[in-house]
Amino acid sequence: MKNIFLLTASMMCADFGNLEREVRDLEAAGIDSFHIDIMDGRYVNNFAMSLYDMECIARLTKKPLDVHLMIEHPRNSIDIFLNELRPGDTVYIHPEAEYHPSATIQKIIDAGMHPGIAINPGTSVETIKELLRIVDSVLVMAVNPGNASQMFLPFVGEKIEQLIKLRDKMGFKLFWDGACGADKIKKYAPHGVDGFVLGTTVLFEQKRTYKETIEAIRKLDFDYLGNDISK
């Protein structure tokens, strides 16, 4: 049986000195979408990509953008992002960052985008269960948000299993974000995770080309990549 899952590139891990080349190379390699992490230094204690980085990538590709807003009270500023995106792009918010997350989700829907929520490791499925009925995508954080190259938090695996059981009933797609190594893709893609955000663990800062890496991931051929899948 062929494994069908989506791959999105975490652009905060890309070479910003050659951003256009990075986008072109990833697109040619067969990436499905571009993941853009926006951080405000308040919701998380880091700053990452900006509105202008997002605009630049949107100009360079027709592939979908997945915009992950790690910002406080996104409803107050979400229009500046929605105005620069294309119908069909996805926008994720963190429910904890908003007083009334369903109202912010409705703004995303009204703008013609796919609404999504991002779930922190410490956020239980029970606390966001009602929102699962009104979003298209759920982004499960396998690390605490705010920085790349973190260690996987093993208790997130149980949350993934819970969400897989709810997905078909509620009609959302399930994505993995953070510490996404070969072992995680090999285990959870066949179990039903719809897509994976690829960062430094398996895509960037590797010796092989993006095309070689992405082709091997789609085949679940991790021996070829030289990744230890026994961990």
- Residues 55-103: pLDDT tens digits? 999 999 999 999 999 999 999 999 999 999 999 999 999 999 999 999 9
Q: What is the mean pLDDT of the chain?
A: 88
- Tell me the CA end-to-end span of the chain in Å, nearest whole number: 25
Question: Mind listing the pLDDT tens digit for each residue in 7-28?
Answer: 999 999 999 999 999 999 999 9
* Active-site residue set: 37, 177
What is the longest distance spanned by two Cα atoms in the chain? 47
Q: What are phi and psi of 42, to 5 degrees?
A: -120, -55
Q: How far apart are CA 26 and CA 125, in angstroms?
A: 33
